[in-house]
């Protein structure tokens, strides 16, 4: 694993380890051996680094994959402490597991060479953070985060018995019904236990000696017992019907409460269909098992136990044989049951993925149609359906095999016992009555076993579902309240970021050492290319995530010390997602402050400038908004969200592209409203369009996670840096106040390389030829490999350019923003578009076709002159095409090397296509 030549000098290493074991009797000889290997073969310092030695030993000695689940976030959050403990003490079992998991992580994520470097660098006294930096290039916090992201979050596979124990725990609070259930089962058990004894009595003391008294008395017992048992059966039916739904109601509540406490980081780990399918399919399957299987299995087990007691009473030798054979008969199928439980769990996981896939397909149907990737999606569907088929096949087969194996083993045991009884009766050691009673007993046992076997597949299926419910319940509530719930002295006068760094996955820093300070009331714009970290600042301020390093202060209080309720009262977030809750408009605004009066709700609606619209609706504030608010327009929904935020009356308003999902007209109107309502409070506003920036008190410019510039509009323009460049790109493209017309200056056109050398009068012509287009989100504008389309300049919104990879997935090449342009290849005869461009947000565009361009040239030029113009344009395009193709090939290669995972590129907002 570490590239050590094990054979070389192995004897001397073993000798040294043995000598050490003799001199330090408490020490694990295996650990000594690994320490000697590390120090003498890899040049690690003495004493050998405990972390790596213990980790390697644990890894080779244990199946870590099976134990990894035992570790949770806290276990991986103190690598320094772990290293120190393992350097001086004999390892605790949990620390040994941690070390093993860490070595596994380093090996998987960075390879054996880095693990060796890490081991060598772990010298006594060397800070672990420095070792991490020197060998992996990542800080200690990043390594811990990356490590925690790799932890398996699946609970250990468990079987039917733990599931039954869990069910018993669920039923315990319901005393009346549980008691009724237990009493019912006991009565059935007693009857089953006594029946063979009565049969024995009937045969040996009644029928054989012709004793009518005994016969009638025993028949009376049997009939009475039968009637009582039938009533007990009814009691069982009533109690399980009440207990199952009640117990599952409790589980639903628990899971829902847990859901509310999960952080965004944890929620990101779930597939979109998972949570819904846990609440729907998994809960149903478990409930079904609680009602139908669990009580049944318990009842049958009791019956078998009762029968065994009777068996002892009848003949102890046969009873001993019965118990031994039954033990074997139940043990053997357990081996199959383990596979059955795993198969049931796998099936549930696949169901969750499948539900997510269907949901995604339904949501993205317009995109699928416009991209014409129906066939590709069908291929993915077939793959998923195939996987579902395979996992279901395994699930059913294993379930049925478990049941069949149980029946088979029990039947074999029965035959064995009958054979023993017959043999003993030949020797005269047992009477005929005992053998008859035993046959009755075995019928009862066989019936119970058969019953258990038929209930097992349902129970096994439920174990898979239970594991998934448990895996959600077992997640730590990682959005906990602050331990020292401190109150920042209100009102708020200051918000500060001090050396704040953050990463979502531990792979790279998404915010890198951000320091900024601002006073209330102040309006702050967060600008920068797509993926530069603007929304992440909002995520940290609203405490959706906590910083990896550094502090965010509200006045002088660390945001992590402020309890969630106070924090939520201080802030409101409005982002581009305008999905509403199903219910009335009143409800959707009112949840901004529960308990608000109707007058307050109406005032908030007035401030958000939606009151007049609401009063025109037949049901006014009681109008139902439909699922997700789909009965209202995007602009109306956004105003309702703003009204909700205003009702909340926050001191800090966080706006994250609040208007970018709206059309330009609605954006213009809502921006006016936002400008009014933000004047009295602090506002952080993420924006791509810079036209609002001149009015802001402070502008923070982000690039690749770093805060590269901050100041007022004028200060930043004077810097001639990133902001000035962005401003220049956007400044001469204006949208009129109605949001319906776009204008671009000739000077701005000239800055596009394509038009750099076009004569002034032609540029004027081109400017007038440009067509204004308003395009909704998810519209495909150019398609890779085709020669149709137009040349576009982006005046508003965002466009994603991507290429299709060999495996059918698409790779994002660039995110184009206001001022960027694309599709110039459409201006050339026969040159196919190298990428597909699709709008991510509603866009306003200026566009030009090849015919338009030719027409412009025709107006003023002779054929020769026109061809000169075309030649210049062709030459510019050729240069850009070459550059584009080179970049494309490079990215495709890189993506293949990374396993071709399609994802938006972080630094995607470079120059336009
Ligand atoms: N939940 C997440 N998990 C992993 N990475 C994420 C997550 N959210 C954002 N990122 C990554 O973090 C980086 C910063 O994202 P962020 O959303 O803050 O950028 P942004 O500047 O707001 O971009 P945009 O303008 O496109 O909204 C990006 O590279 C993005 O891919």
Ligand 1: distance of its center to the CA of 258 in Å?
26
Ligand 1: distance of its center to the CA of 534 in Å?
8
pLDDT at 494 over 80: yes
Ligand 1: distance of its center to the CA of 778 in Å?
19
Residue nearest to atom 2 of ligand 1 (CA): 504
Ligand 1: distance of its center to the CA of 906 in Å?
8
Three-state SS at 813: strand
Ligand 1: distance of its center to the CA of 320 in Å?
68
Q: pLDDT at position 871, please?
A: 63
- The region that residue 792 occupies, defined by phi over 0 for left and psi between -120 and 50 for alpha, beta otherwise, is beta
Ligand 1: distance of its center to the CA of 815 in Å?
12
Token digits for 511?
């915010």
Give the residues surrounding ligand 1 with Cβ less than 6 Å away: 268, 504-505, 510, 528, 530-536, 686, 904, 906
Strand-by-strand arrangement of the 549-554 sheet: 511-519, 494-502, 549-554, 557-558
Mean pLDDT of 62-84: 64
Residue nearest to atom 3 of ligand 1 (CA): 504
pLDDT at 866 over 60: no
Share of the chain above pLDDT 70, in %: 82
Which tens digit of pLDDT belongs to each residue from 809-833? 677 878 888 888 888 777 766 677 7
**Cα of 509 vs its chain's centroid, Å:** 20
- Is the dihedral angle over the CA atoms 653, 658, 659, 660 positive or is it negative? positive
Q: What average pLDDT does the structure give for the chain?
A: 79
Number of alpha carbons in the 13 Å side-chain half-sphere of residue 82: 25
Kindly list the distances between the CA atom of residue 581 and the CA atoms of 589, 628, 903, in Å, as whole numbers in the listed order: 10, 6, 30
Q: What's the Rg (C-alpha) of the chain?
A: 37
Ligand 1: distance of its center to the CA of 533 in Å?
6
Substitution candidate for ligand 1 out of 262, 267, 269, 504 with most atoms within 8 A of CB = 504
Q: Which atom of ligand 1 is nearest to the CA of 533?
A: 18
End-to-end CA distance of the chain: 46
Looking at the DSSP bridge assignments, the partners of residue 495 are: 518, 554
Substitution candidate for ligand 1 out of 149, 270, 510 with most atoms within 8 A of CB = 510
pLDDT at 65 over 60: no
Ligand 1: distance of its center to the CA of 529 in Å?
11
Q: pLDDT at position 290, please?
A: 84
Token digits for 571?
């802030």
Quick check: 752 and 826 in contact, CB under 8 A?
Answer: no
Substitution candidate for ligand 1 out of 512, 525, 533 with most atoms within 8 A of CB = 533
Least confident of 124-138, 144-158, 189-203: 144-158
Number of alpha carbons in the 13 Å side-chain half-sphere of residue 653: 29
Ligand 1: distance of its center to the CA of 182 in Å?
56
Substitution candidate for ligand 1 out of 534, 538, 841 with most atoms within 8 A of CB = 534
To which H or E segment does residue 571 belong? strand 571-575
Residue nearest to atom 12 of ligand 1 (CA): 510
Strand-by-strand arrangement of the 698-703 sheet: 571-575, 652-656, 682-686, 523-527, 698-703, 706-711
Token digits for 624?
């139902």
ipTM over 0.90: yes
Ligand 1: distance of its center to the CA of 536 in Å?
6
pLDDT at 453 over 80: no
**Peptide bond preceding 521: is omega within 30 degrees of 0, i.e. cis?**
yes
User: Which ranges in 364-480 belong to alpha helices (H)?
Assistant: 365-371, 374-426, 432-473
Report the C-alpha gap between 190 and 786 in whole angstroms: 81
Which tens digit of pLDDT belongs to each residue from 480-492? 565 556 677 777 8
pLDDT at 913 over 60: no
> Environment class of residue 478 by beta-carbon count within 10 Å: exposed (0-12), middle (13-18) or buried (19+)?
middle
Report the C-alpha gap between 522 and 683 in whole angstroms: 6
Ligand 1: distance of its center to the CA of 360 in Å?
20
Q: pLDDT at position 908, please?
A: 32
Report the C-alpha gap between 426 and 133 in whole angstroms: 83
Residue nearest to atom 24 of ligand 1 (CA): 530
Report the C-alpha gap between 697 and 679 in whole angstroms: 11
Report the C-alpha gap between 149 and 152 in whole angstroms: 8
Substitution candidate for ligand 1 out of 536, 537, 573 with most atoms within 8 A of CB = 536
Residue nearest to atom 19 of ligand 1 (CA): 531
Ligand 1: distance of its center to the CA of 666 in Å?
26
771-775/843-848 β-pairing: antiparallel
Q: pLDDT at position 195, please?
A: 78
Q: Which atom of ligand 1 is nearest to the CA of 511?
A: 14
Mean pLDDT of 561-585: 85
Q: pLDDT at position 569, please?
A: 85
Q: Which atom of ligand 1 is nearest to the CA of 264?
A: 1
Residue nearest to atom 4 of ligand 1 (CA): 504
Sorting pLDDT into bands at 50, 70 and 90, what band is 587? very high
Residue nearest to atom 6 of ligand 1 (CA): 504
Question: Class for domain 494-724, per CATH?
Answer: alpha beta
Sorting pLDDT into bands at 50, 70 and 90, what band is 30? low
Least confident of 148-152, 663-667, 900-904: 900-904
Q: Do domains 160-473 and 742-897 have the same CATH topology?
A: no
Report the C-alpha gap between 86 and 101 in whole angstroms: 14
Ligand 1: distance of its center to the CA of 657 in Å?
13
Report the C-alpha gap between 208 and 227 in whole angstroms: 27
Ligand 1: distance of its center to the CA of 588 in Å?
28
Q: pLDDT at position 860, please?
A: 47
Torsion on CA atoms 369, 373, 378, 380, rounded to nearest 10: -130
pLDDT at 233 over 60: yes
Report the C-alpha gap between 13 and 9 in whole angstroms: 6
**Cα of 747 vs its chain's centroid, Å:** 48
Residue nearest to atom 17 of ligand 1 (CA): 535
Q: Which atom of ligand 1 is nearest to the CA of 702?
A: 21
Nearest to 802 by CA among 899, 904, 882: 904
Residue nearest to atom 16 of ligand 1 (CA): 533
Residue nearest to atom 10 of ligand 1 (CA): 504
Least confident of 152-156, 584-588, 711-715: 152-156
Phi, psi for residue 550 in degrees, rounded to 5: 90, 180
Q: Which atom of ligand 1 is nearest to the CA of 537?
A: 18
Q: pLDDT at position 901, please?
A: 41
Mean pLDDT of 841-853: 84
Q: Where are the domains of the chain?
A: 10-150, 160-473, 494-724, 742-897
Substitution candidate for ligand 1 out of 142, 268, 532 with most atoms within 8 A of CB = 532
Ligand 1: distance of its center to the CA of 531 in Å?
5
Nearest to 536 by CA among 489, 502, 495: 502
Residue nearest to atom 18 of ligand 1 (CA): 533
Token digits for 462?
């439920």
Ligand 1: distance of its center to the CA of 116 in Å?
34
Mean pLDDT of 35-43: 72
Report the C-alpha gap between 13 and 201 in whole angstroms: 76
Sorting pLDDT into bands at 50, 70 and 90, what band is 622? very high
Q: Which atom of ligand 1 is nearest to the CA of 705?
A: 14
Token digits for 353?
């993925």
Tell which CATH classification among 2.60.120.10, 3.40.50.300, 1.10.760.10, 2.160.10.10 matches the domain 742-897: 2.60.120.10
Q: Which atom of ligand 1 is nearest to the CA of 505?
A: 4
Report the C-alpha gap between 435 and 420 in whole angstroms: 10
Residue nearest to atom 5 of ligand 1 (CA): 504
pLDDT at 145 over 60: yes
pLDDT at 456 over 70: yes
> Environment class of residue 195 by beta-carbon count within 10 Å: exposed (0-12), middle (13-18) or buried (19+)?
buried
Ligand 1: distance of its center to the CA of 128 in Å?
29
* Most confidently modeled range among 116-125, 526-535, 748-757, 882-891: 526-535
pLDDT at 707 over 70: yes
Ligand 1: distance of its center to the CA of 516 in Å?
20
Sorting pLDDT into bands at 50, 70 and 90, what band is 393? confident
Buried b (16+ CB within 10 A) or exposed e, 708-734: bbbeebeebbeeeebbbebbebbbbbe
Ligand 1: distance of its center to the CA of 630 in Å?
27
Residue nearest to atom 13 of ligand 1 (CA): 531
Say which CATH topology domain 160-473 has.
ABC transporter transmembrane region fold (1.20.1560)
Q: Which atom of ligand 1 is nearest to the CA of 903?
A: 31
Ligand 1: distance of its center to the CA of 535 in Å?
7
Least confident of 19-33, 431-445, 506-520, 694-708: 19-33
Q: pLDDT at position 902, please?
A: 38
Sorting pLDDT into bands at 50, 70 and 90, what band is 533? very high
Ligand 1: distance of its center to the CA of 530 in Å?
8
Residue nearest to atom 30 of ligand 1 (CA): 531
| C-alpha angle 443-445-447 in degrees, rounded to nearest 5 | 65
Quickly tell me which residue has 């081109």 as its tokens. Answer: 766
| C-alpha angle 854-793-741 in degrees, rounded to nearest 5 | 100
Q: Which atom of ligand 1 is nearest to the CA of 815?
A: 26
Ligand 1: distance of its center to the CA of 545 in Å?
13
Q: Which atom of ligand 1 is nearest to the CA of 657?
A: 27
């Amino acid at each position: 694993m570490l590239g050590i030549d094990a054979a070389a000098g192995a004897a001397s290493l073993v000798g040294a380890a043995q000598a050490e074991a003799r001199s330090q009797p408490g020490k694990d000889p295996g650990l000594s051996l690994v320490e000697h290997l590390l120090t003498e073969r890899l040049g690690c310092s003495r004493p050998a680094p405990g972390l790596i030695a213990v980790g390697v030993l644990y890894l080779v000695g244990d199946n870590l994959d099976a134990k990894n689940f035992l570790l949770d976030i806290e276990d991986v959050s103190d690598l320094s402490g772990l290293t120190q403990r393992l350097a001086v003490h004999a390892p605790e079992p949990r620390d040994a597991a941690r070390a093993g998991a860490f070595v596994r992580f380093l090996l998987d994520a960075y390879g054996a060479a880095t693990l060796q470097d890490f081991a060598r660098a772990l010298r006594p006294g060397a800070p672990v953070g420095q070792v991490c930096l020197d060998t992996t290039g990542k800080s200690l916090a990043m390594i811990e985060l990356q490590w925690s992201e790799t932890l398996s979050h699946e609970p250990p596979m468990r079987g039917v018995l733990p599931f039954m124990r869990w069910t018993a725990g669920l039923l315990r609070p319901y005393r009346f019904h549980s008691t009724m259930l237990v009493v019912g089962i006991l009565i059935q058990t007693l009857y089953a236990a006594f029946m063979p004894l009565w049969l024995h009595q009937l045969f040996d003391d009644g029928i054989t000696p012709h004793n009518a008294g005994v016969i009638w008395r025993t028949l009376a017992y049997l009939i009475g017992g039968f009637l009582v048992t039938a009533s007990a059966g009814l009691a069982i039916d009533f109690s399980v019907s009440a207990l199952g739904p009640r117990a599952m109601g409790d589980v639903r509540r628990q899971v829902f409460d847990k859901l509310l406490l999960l952080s965004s980081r944890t929620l990101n780990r779930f597939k979109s269909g998972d949570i819904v399918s846990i609440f729907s399919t998994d809960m149903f399957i478990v409930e079904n098992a609680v009602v139908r299987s669990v009580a049944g299995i318990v009842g049958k087990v009791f019956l078998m136990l009762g029968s065994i007691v009777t068996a002892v009473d009848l003949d102890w030798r046969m009873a001993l044989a019965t118990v031994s054979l039954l033990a074997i008969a139940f043990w053997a199928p357990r081996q199959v049951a383990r596979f059955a439980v795993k198969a049931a769990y796998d099936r549930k996981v696949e169901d969750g993925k499948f539900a997510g896939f269907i949901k995604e397909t339904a949501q993205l149907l317009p995109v699928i149609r416009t991209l014409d990737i129906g066939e590709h999606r069908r291929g993915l569907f077939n793959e998923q359906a195939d996987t579902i088929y395979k996992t279901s096949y395994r699930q059913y087969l294993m379930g049925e095999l478990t049941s069949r194996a149980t029946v088979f083993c029990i039947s074999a045991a029965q035959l064995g016992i009958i054979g023993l009884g017959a043999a003993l009766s030949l020797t005269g050691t047992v009477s005929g009555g005992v053998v008859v009673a035993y046959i009755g007993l075995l019928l009862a046992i066989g019936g119970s076993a058969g019953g258990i076997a038929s209930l097992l597949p349902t129970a096994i299926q439920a174990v898979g579902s239970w594991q998934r419910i448990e895996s959600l319940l077992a997640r730590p509530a990682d959005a906990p309240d602050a331990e020292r719930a401190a109150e920042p002295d209100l009102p708020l006068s200051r918000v500060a970021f001090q050396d704040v760094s953050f990463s979502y996955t531990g792979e790279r820093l998404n915010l890198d050492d951000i320091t900024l300070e601002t006073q209330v009331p102040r309006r702050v714009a967060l600008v920068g290319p797509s993926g530069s970290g603007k929304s992440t600042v909002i995520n940290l301020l609203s405490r959706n995530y906590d910083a990896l390093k550094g502090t965010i202060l509200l006045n002088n209080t660390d945001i992590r010390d402020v309890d969630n309720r106070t924090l939520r009262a201080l802030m409101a977030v409005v982002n581009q997602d305008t999905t509403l809750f199903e219910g009335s408009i009143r409800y959707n605004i009112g949840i901004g402050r529960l308990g608000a009066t109707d007058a307050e709700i109406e005032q908030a609606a007035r401030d958000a400038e939606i009151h007049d619209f609401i009063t025109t609706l037949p049901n006014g504030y009681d109008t139902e908004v439909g699922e997700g608010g789909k009965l209202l327009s995007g602009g109306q929904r956004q105003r309702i969200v703003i009204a909700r935020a205003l009702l909340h009356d926050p001191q800090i308003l966080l706006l994250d592209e609040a208007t970018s999902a709206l059309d330009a007209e609605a954006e213009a109107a809502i921006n006016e409203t936002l400008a009014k309502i933000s004047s009295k409070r602090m506002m952080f506003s993420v924006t791509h369009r810079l036209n609002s920036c001149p009015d802001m008190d402070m502008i923070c410019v982000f690039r690749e996670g770093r805060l590269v510039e901050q100041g007022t509009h004028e200060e930043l323009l004077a810097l001639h840096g990133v902001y000035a460049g962005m401003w220049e790109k956007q400044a001469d493209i204006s949208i009129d106040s109605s949001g319906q017309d776009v204008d671009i200056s000739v000077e701005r056109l000239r800055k596009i390389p394509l038009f750099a050398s076009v004569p002034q009068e032609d540029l004027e012509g081109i400017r007038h030829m440009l067509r204004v287009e308003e395009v909704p989100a998810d519209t495909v504008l150019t398609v890779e490999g085709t020669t149709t389309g137009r040349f576009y300049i982006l005046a508003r919104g965002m466009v994603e350019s991507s290429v299709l990879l060999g495996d059918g997935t698409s790779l994002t090449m660039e995110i184009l923003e206001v001022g960027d342009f694309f599709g110039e290849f459409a201006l050339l005869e026969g040159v196919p578009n190298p990428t597909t461009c699709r709008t991510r947000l509603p866009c306003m565009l200026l566009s030009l076709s090849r015919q338009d361009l030719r027409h412009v040239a025709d107006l003023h030029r002779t054929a020769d002159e026109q061809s000169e113009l075309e030649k210049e344009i062709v030459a510019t395009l050729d240069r850009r095409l070459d550059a584009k193709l080179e970049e494309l090939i490079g990215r495709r290669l890189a993506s293949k090397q990374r396993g071709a995972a399609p994802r938006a590129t972080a630094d995607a907002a470079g120059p336009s296509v």
